[in-house]
Amino acid sequence: MDTISLNQFESVRVGGNENSKISIKTFIESKSLTFTKGSGFYELSKPETIQDTKEILVQRISDPGTLICGKSVRKVLGLEEGKNKKNKKKYEIDAEILKKFKIFVQSTSYNRNLIGGTTFLYKKVPGSVPRPVTPPSSDGPPAKRGRTVSPTRPVTISSSGPSSTPVSSGDASATVEIVFSFDTTGSMYPCLSTVRSVIRDTLSRLTTNIPSIRIGILAHGDYCDEGSNYLIKAANGDNPGKIDWRVEAGKLKEAGIRVYAVQALDQSRADFFYRELASVTLGFHLRLHQLSSVTDFLVAVCYHEGDNADAGGSQQNRLAQFEDELSTAGRMVNNLRGLFDQLRGRSTKTATSVTSASGLLPVSPSRFQVLVVDEDQSIKDFAQDRGLVFKVGRGFYQFTKPENVSDKKEIVLMDKTSGDFYTGWAAAREFSGIEAGKVGKQSPKDSDKYLVFIQSTSYNRKLIKGQKFLYEVDADR
């Protein structure tokens, strides 16, 4: 799929509402933008027919940081040539498409009207200086370009996959500053994909509930991962280490920065690093088994910091309210329950209703990542679109319709309440209603307790929109 980063463009919001209009020429002049004809893209706000000669950029609502371009545009929008010969040289964009995507069309005229409330993109001019988006504070001299303002209450969250509770400042007006740093190497990439899909709503919620919060988001990974979706072979070759993390952790502590060290995928060899990083900085060592829960982790940590900053005020119950919200919505899986227990200083109790007598075998909580399918497509396309490193046999599709089930395929059950996984050749088949050795199609069994997943041995297996897909993580990546 042809894509480019949104970072290659300046993104400017058009003021006003849907009834207001302003020409591109007037808009550019009012914003003092550096602009050349043909480098601007207006956002479609209503159904429209577009000439095929114009460049079009498509932004998934679920992935705002990436723009789909080139020949991939027709495929993504379902407008492949040949489906409608009349429209071979045109794009006919209808209202349904606009519900799923933001579409930006190249404008070749300065007189094109922009609609209020939409976004205008224009290609960055090499060597130009980006416009400041925040005016300098009136409380003192403006900060010099390239300098970073020292944080008031800084917190860093490190995610790669019990320590002392920080002492609250008791200052209800203190600014809460948090930086999320994500490792996108190999198997950790789904974490960033998940954050991208919900980042706008998450940040909007946090800034509303914690007005003083300031948030930064970083993503780091290996160069060798870029453009690689299928693992052929792997070899060592990292550059010699030049940074001592212990020294750096000590500097963070001296600066008053604590780390919520989020250890993902249950890799025990990394226990010492994350435990010590949290301990040295008086932060927390947290475990994240399901990357799909990462946004709930982020919100919980922000509310914890916000409550600490407001100690003695009236907003100290945000974390407790969020916990109640997740429980009511049925999203309080065991991993999240452990997070809240730790942040609120409680002993952790894991909920499970499966006994050894059932024959079901518990699966490591980090063996699978639960991904939601957002469009009908093959496993191969699904993996490529998300930048996943994928091997045949490491994907499990949801069992929702009659089909033949081979005795060779593994069956995995996921508890709808706790989020825990179970397997076991005979027991898993019994609970899911799949008969061993049966010839012909078998129908899924209605269950209030489990979701059933079947191992796929084909890249071409079609996944259905709205269903879940278990992606088996390669722990060595």
Q: What are the distances in angstroms from CA 36 to CA 22, 25, 261? A: 18, 11, 46
Instruction: Give 158-185 pLDDT, tens digit per residue.
Output: 554 433 333 333 343 457 888 888 776 6
Which of helix, strand or coil describes residue 5? strand
The C-alpha torsion from 347 through 353 and 359 to 365, rounded to 10°, is -50
Whether residue 278 has pLDDT greater than 80: yes
Q: For 125-163, what is each residue's pLDDT tens digit?
A: 554 433 333 333 334 433 333 333 333 345 556 554 433
The single-letter DSSP state of residue 403 is B
Give the Cα separation of 133 and 16 in Å (integer).
18
CB 301 within 8 A of CB 323: no
Q: How far apart are CA 188 and CA 256, in angstroms?
A: 28
Integer Cα distance of 327 and 213 in angstroms: 25
Q: CA dihedral in degrees (424, 430, 435, 437; nearest 10)?
A: 30
- What's the rounded Cα separation, in Å, for the pair 43 and 58? 10
- d(C-alpha 411, C-alpha 164), whole Å: 42
Other beta carbons less than 10 A from residue 298's beta carbon = 24
- Of 74-83, 219-228, 424-433, the poorest mean pLDDT is in 219-228
Helices (H), 55-188: 72-77, 95-100
User: What's the pLDDT at 204?
Assistant: 82
Lowest mean pLDDT among 112-121, 165-174, 281-290, 432-441: 165-174
Beta carbons within 10 angstroms of residue 75's beta carbon: 15
Which pLDDT tens digit goes with each residue over 18-39? 888 998 888 888 877 766 777 8
> Virtual CA dihedral for 183, 186, 190, 195, nearest 10 degrees?
20
Q: How far apart are CA 161 and CA 274, in angstroms?
A: 10
Distance CA 338, CA 375 (A): 33
Count the neighbouring beta carbons within 10 Å of the beta carbon of residue 399: 23
Residues 6+ apart with CB under 8 A from 369: 190, 290, 291, 292, 470, 471, 473
| pLDDT given for residue 96 in this prediction | 74
d(CA 71, CA 176): 44
| Nearest of 167, 351, 163, 366 to residue 275 by alpha carbon | 163
Q: For residues 188-201, give the mean pLDDT.
A: 66
pLDDT, the chain, mean: 76
Q: How many Å apart are CA 391 and CA 231, to the nearest integer?
A: 7
The phi, psi pair for 295, rounded to 5°, reads -70, -35
pLDDT given at position 428? 93
Position with higher pLDDT, 52 vs 218: 218
Nearest CA among 103, 124, 105 for reference residue 9: 124
Express each pLDDT in 327-385 by its tens digit: 888 888 888 888 899 888 887 665 555 555 578 999 988 888 888 898 999 998 888 88
Q: Residue with structure tokens 């897909």?
A: 469
Instruction: State mean pLDDT over 272-284.
Output: 88
SS3 label, residue 161 = coil
Amino acid at 261: A
